[in-house]
Amino acid sequence: MKNRLKVLRAERDWTQQDLADRLRVSRQTVNAIEKGKYDPSLPVAFRIAAVFEQPIEGIFSPEEPA
Amino acid sequence: MSMTPRKRYLIEALSAMAVYMAILPLTILAFRHYAPESVWVRVVLAVLPMLPLFYVMTAIIRLVRRQDELQQRIQFEGVAFGFAVTITFCFTWFFLQRFDVVPSIDLIWVAAIGIWAWVIGKLIAKRRYA
């Protein structure tokens, strides 16, 4: 999965820790999601959508087929 | 600022280990000095140091329950790696022992290998998501 987490976070001038606190996860988890190394569960994805006030599909998109 | 699950676990585990380190020499001294004949007294002396370790075990469970989903996945991958390594070691050693290649060893070595393999497994999993 690709995501726009880093861009959305930068727009709000939040650190990874700021976002992690809002999502009630660790900073490492935010970092892994931003780098595309970990796809969050649906509950966390919904929390991300709520924090950024955007629909999930506006933040996450499937990887382009190779 | 609230304490992270890891910090809380470290405080719980380290205090329990301190109690363990205090109890262990006392039970060894008591066993050597009094050489109790009663099996039950020996059982109590032998198992007494396990009480703080039991607390460490519950602290590990509390740690995992407090962690977020990625941290829980890392724990799971670490435990899976540790379990696989320990089982492989046990079977390999068992067959080598049966073929008179290696001597019989204490169970404590299985525990030591299990703990180290778990730690290494966690480090490998952590790197994957870093």
Per residue in B98-120, pLDDT tens?
999 999 999 999 999 999 999 99
Q: Are B129 and A24 an interchain contact pair (Cβ–Cβ within 8 Å)?
A: no
What CA–CA distance (Å, rounded) separates B103 from B40? 31
Task: Note the pLDDT of residue B5.
Answer: 84
Q: Does A49 touch chain B (CB under 8 A)?
A: no
Q: Is A29 within 8 Å of chain B by CB?
A: yes
In this predicted model, what pLDDT tens digit does every residue of B35-82 receive, in sequence order?
888 999 999 999 999 999 999 999 999 999 999 999 999 999 999 999
Domain ranges of chain B: 1-66, 68-130
Instruction: Mean pLDDT check: name the lowest of B3-7, B27-31, B84-88, B102-106.
Output: B3-7
Question: How confident is the model over B10-38, as pLDDT tens digits?
Answer: 999 999 999 999 999 999 999 999 888 89
Contacts by A55-63, CB closer than 8 A, 24 or more apart? A58/A4, A59/A3, A59/A4, A59/A5, A59/A8, A60/A1, A60/A2, A60/A3, A61/A1, A61/A2, A61/A3, A62/A1, A62/A2, A63/A1, A63/A2
Q: Is the minimum CB–CB distance between A41 and chain B shorter than 8 Å?
A: yes
- The whole-number pLDDT of residue A66 equals 54
Residue A1: per-residue pLDDT: 86
Does A37 lie at the interface with B, CB-CB under 8 angstroms?
A: yes
- Interchain proximity B71–A41, CB inside 8 Å: no
- List of chain B residues whose C-beta atoms are within 8 Å of the C-beta of residue A29: 68-71
CA nearest to A32, candidates B111, B126, B105: B126
Interface contact flag, A26 B68, Cβ < 8 Å: yes
* Contact at CB, A38 and B129, closer than 8 angstroms: yes
In our burial notation (b when 16+ CB lie closer than 10 A, e otherwise), range B71-107 reads bebbbebbbebbeebbeeeeeebeeeeeeeeeeeeee
Task: Give residue A53's pLDDT band: very low, low, confident or very high (50, 70, 90).
Answer: very high
User: Using one digit for the tens of pLDDT, what is the confidence trace for A2-49?
Assistant: 999 999 999 999 999 999 999 999 999 999 999 999 999 999 999 999
Do B49 and B108 form a contact (C-beta atoms < 8 A)? Answer: no
